[in-house]
């Protein structure tokens, strides 16, 4: 049964900044009908036009407005017909994805929204043969008033640019990245969970799409953005997860690509992660590949160790991804009086730790209930530690717009 949310704002009919066109290929079981510009997007818009004005959105957002506005409109948004109370972390096809291309040495063309579906690639594409690919992950949250919040999207834009430089790839500008994310979220607004039910996971993807046979940068790059409504990454939710230290396989090496969000980094963890899950653990915790004694990361998130008023996390030195949630938790913890140390953290420190937790866009802040190392299980209480709970609450309340954003981290869309 469709749930309806109605909001009335001093804005006018929504028109995205990029054109919308049908995708040439779709693999969906029930593909959306071909786009008809005379029909609305999957948002039911009832508009009442008056004097043209863009002042409201410009005041609310540091980005250029992506809508043509008049003085007032009434908007009725029909939510997608899915079970919002039982969202997991898996792909749910939505309505639109964003798409733009660039030739090597050039600049990205103006993007467009296409119906979500398959994309066409040459078998010689750089991403398929030589792994030229990067991705980002961020989330959109629906507030109680119906407005939408993005969390630090400019940080994702900058991280993708840094990754593209390392991987010899063309990349969209920060402004292009932000506009693409904004347009994709608004086009898929009906898939954003109701307040408190989850979030809309946003996946920007940059790939070497041009054909190349010899080892060389691809001659063409494609930037796309797709989205999916999600719940908790770990099935435990805020309940503690259980990790096992991986002693033989390593996620990254000095001088490699562990510090950027390239696709190959995640393929490298699949074997150890799968083995950990077969043994009943939530995930694997990796050590450095030189000394094999210092903590690095979990498969898809950063790690923190709490002892008294001190919170320690492995320093960023090229083998660890500079997580945006990691960076945010460090700033929040320091603002609340904790001493935060970014340094080499020995696996032996897990024995005496008061709490351990993980951070990441997908996992947010996840408490660790136990870590098993060389057959020895180290447990951390019977529930969620006080420090972990405090930082989780501080971050999520800010992301969902439940408290004032004194850090100036959120971007509000209407």
Give the residue numbers annotated as catalytic, written as ranges: 261
The SS3 of residue 184 is helix
Pairing state between β 283-287 and 295-298: antiparallel
What is the distance, to the nearest Å, from the Cα of residue 173 to the centroid of all Cα atoms in its chain? 18
C-alpha to C-alpha distance for 82 and 289, rounded to whole angstroms: 44
Those residues whose C-beta lies under 8 Å from the C-beta of residue 210, and which sit 6 or more positions away, are 103, 104, 122, 125, 126, 218, 219, 220, 221
Among residues 131, 127, 150, which one has the least CA distance to residue 140?
A: 150
C-alpha neighbours within 13 Å on the C-beta side of residue 235? 6
Q: State both tokens at 166.
A: 């390392």
Rounded Cα distance between 227 and 184, Å, is 8
Beta bridge partners of 306: 311, 355
Query: Distance from first CA to last CA of the chain, Å, rounded?
Result: 25
How many angstroms separate the Cα of 299 from the Cα of each of 201, 256, 259, 386? 18, 16, 13, 25
For tokens 């078998």, the residue is: 123
> CB-side exposure of 241: number of CA atoms within 13 Å?
29
Burial class (CB in 10 A: 0-12, 13-18, 19+), 135: middle
Nearest Cα residue to 362 out of 408, 284, 302: 302
């Amino acid at each position: 049964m469709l749930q309806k949310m109605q909001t009335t704002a001093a804005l006018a009919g929504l028109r995205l900044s990029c054109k919308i066109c049908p995708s040439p290929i779709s693999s969906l079981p029930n593909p959306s009908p071909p786009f008809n510009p005379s029909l609305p997007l999957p948002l039911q818009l009832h508009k009442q036009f008056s004097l043209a004005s863009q002042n409201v959105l410009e005041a609310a957002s540091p980005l250029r407005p992506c809508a043509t506005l008049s003085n007032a409109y009434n908007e009725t948004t029909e939510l997608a017909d899915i079970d919002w109370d039982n969202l997991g972390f898996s792909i749910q096809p939505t309505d639109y994805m964003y798409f733009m291309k660039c030739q090597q040495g050039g600049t990205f063309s103006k993007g467009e929204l296409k119906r979500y579906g398959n994309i066409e690639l040459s078998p010689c594409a750089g991403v398929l043969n030589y792994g030229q690919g990067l991705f980002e992950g961020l989330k959109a949250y629906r507030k109680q008033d119906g407005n939408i919040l993005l969390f630090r999207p400019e940080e994702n834009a900058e991280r993708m640019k840094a990754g593209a430089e390392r991987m010899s790839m063309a990349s969209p500008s920060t402004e292009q990245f932000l506009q693409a994310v904004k347009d994709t979220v608004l086009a898929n607004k009906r898939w954003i969970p109701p307040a408190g039910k989850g979030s809309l996971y946003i996946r920007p993807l940059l790939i070497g799409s041009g054909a190349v046979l010899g080892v060389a940068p691809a001659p063409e790059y494609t930037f796309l953005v797709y989205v999916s409504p999600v719940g908790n990454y770990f099935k435990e939710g805020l309940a503690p997860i259980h990790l096992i230290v991986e002693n033989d396989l390593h996620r990254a090496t000095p001088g490699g690509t562990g510090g950027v969000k390239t696709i190959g980094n995640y393929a490298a963890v699949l074997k150890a992660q799968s083995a950990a899950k077969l043994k009943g653990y939530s995930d694997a915790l990796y050590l450095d590949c030189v000394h094999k004694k210092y903590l690095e990361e979990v498969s898809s998130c950063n790690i923190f160790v709490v002892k008294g008023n001190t919170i320690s996390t492995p320093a960023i030195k090229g083998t660890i991804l500079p997580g945006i949630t990691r960076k945010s938790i460090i700033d929040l913890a320091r603002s609340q009086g904790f001493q935060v140390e970014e340094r080499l953290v020995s696996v032996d420190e897990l024995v005496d730790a008061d709490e351990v937790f993980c951070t990441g866009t997908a996992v947010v802040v996840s408490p660790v209930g136990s870590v098993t190392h060389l057959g020895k299980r180290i447990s951390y209480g019977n529930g969620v530690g006080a420090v972990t709970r405090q930082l989780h609450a501080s971050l999520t309340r800010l992301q969902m717009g439940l408290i004032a954003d004194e850090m100036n981290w959120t971007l509000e869309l209407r």
